[in-house]
Structure 1
Amino acid sequence: MPRKPSHTPESLADGALAQFWWGGYEATSMDKLVKKTGVSRHGIYADYGGKKALYLACFPRYHEHVVAPILNPVTGSGDGLAAIVGYFGRMVEMAEGIGLPGPGCFVVNAATETAPHDPEIAAKVQEHNDRMESAFAKALEREQASRLPVAHRRALARTTMIFANGLWTASRSIDKVEVMREHAAVFLDLLEYRLK
């Protein structure tokens, strides 16, 4: 009888995600993936066919484990600006839990390292950004106290997505969580002012 595999495609992608997130795509060799995941080269090729396919499989795993827990409450809460305030609170807590300085955002790292010369990865980055922007737009549209037109709220949602990505990037060189909180607080003050 063939031996039962010691991993699943999902657990393999989770282990690879940790390596790609901290180490980047180009600097991650197959040897590093084998060491990090505990899965042989044969197992990696059998499940994914190669390094790039495994990297692409990390995007939905990152969304499930990192993005969804802090972003889903934005769309599900029914709140306006308070939902976005909550998002940044959860984001800073997550960054602190991961450790500062940290790896930044896996997707934003991909946006600067691999997406510029790979359309498949660029599409994954765009999907992530669209999801975030849409969640922020829905929250801002629920802000009843504001008379700001919908088009302006959507532009603010895009700006909020860009700031969130930038704050994740900044977390790669910040060693104190208070600094992240201060950056988020300044942005949220500006957002609240613009919504008046």
Structure 2
Amino acid sequence: MPRLKQYDHKDALARAMERFWAQGYYATSIDDLVRATGVSRHGLYAEFGDKRGLFVAVMETYCATVVTPAFARVEAEGAGLSDIRAYFDTQIGLAVAKGLPGPGCLIANTMTESGPHDEAFAALVRRHLERLDAGFRNALRGACSRRRRTDAADVDSLARFLTIAAQGLWSVSRVTPEPGPLRAFVDDLLRPIEERLAA
């Protein structure tokens, strides 16, 4: 079987990502990854060292290809509440496209499956949560500035609230067969924030 160097690197990572995302880290074997990527054991070990190294690379790929396209607008200069809502809507749309109940969020899954047992994975999860928190803070500050509200403590509290709520939402999507409850949750989540900042 060809080695990874003779394969498309991005394609191999994307296929490994789908397998880890569907099965989790511990339930995914090297044989599963060989079948999913079409790359030999030797090729995977030569490129990533071991399954753990491949998973770290997959997490980076997930952030770049799944998280960033949906979340970048929340992080952008001039972002506001409509961008926060668009982020949730986009991610729910992706879940619907993949099929509900779906695999949820790879990072949220990792947080509960292996994060408590592996410091490297926990660090990746913390970095993601810090990114979400900073992004939500950015958009909330933008919303406040347009309404001449500048309560930093209020913004920080709301950003933490949204970060934690988002992870719960993606976890629930793993057992929810229809998008309606997910969309209703987003409405219930954002409506009081929109009303609070508009007051």
- What's the CA shift string for 1:54-77, capped at 9, x where partnerless? 001111100111100110011226
RMSD value over aligned CA atoms?
1.8
AA aligned to 1:154 is: D
Verify the 8 A CA contact 1:77 1:83 in the aligned structure 2: no
Alpha-carbon distance, 1:107 to partner: 0.4
Q: Verify the 8 A CA contact 2:73 2:79 in the aligned structure 1.
A: no
Match of 2:193 in 1: 191
- Gapped regions of structure 1 (runs ≥ 5): none
**Normalised TM-score (structure 1):** 0.93
Cα gap change, 1:24 to 1:94, in 2 (>3 Å): same
Equivalent positions of 1:101-120 (< 5 A) are 101-120=101-120
Q: Is the 8 A contact 1:101 1:173 kept in 2?
A: yes
Q: Aligned partners of 2:15 and 2:3: how far apart in 1?
A: 21
User: For 1:147, which of 146, 149, 165 is the aligned residue?
Assistant: 149
1:73 and 2:73 correspond: yes
Q: State the SS of the aligned residue for 1:142.
A: helix
Paired residue type of 1:192? E
Q: Is contact 1:85–1:188 with CA below 8 Å preserved after alignment?
A: yes
Q: Distance in 1 between matches of 2:3 and 2:63?
A: 32
In structure 2, the CA distance between the partners of 1:146 and 1:82, relative to structure 1 (3 Å rule), is farther
Code of the aligned partner of 1:140: L
Cα distance per residue 1:110-149 (max 9 Å; x no partner): 1011110111111100111111111110000111226361
Are the equivalent residues in 2 in contact too, given 1:101–1:175 (CA < 8 A)? Answer: yes
Q: Give the structure 1 partner of residue 58 of structure 2.
A: 58
Q: Kindly, what percent of the aligned residue pairs are identical?
A: 39
**Number of positions where the alignment pairs a residue of Structure 1 with one of Structure 2:** 195
| Aligned 8 A contact 1:14 1:58 in 2 | yes
Identify if the C-alpha distance between structure 1 residues 35 and 62 changes in structure 2 by more than 3 Å, giving closer, same or farther.
same
Unaligned runs of 5+ in 2: none
Corresponding residue for 1:131?
Answer: 131
Aligned with 1:182 (options 181, 184, 191): 184
Q: Distance in 1 between matches of 2:10 and 2:123?
A: 21
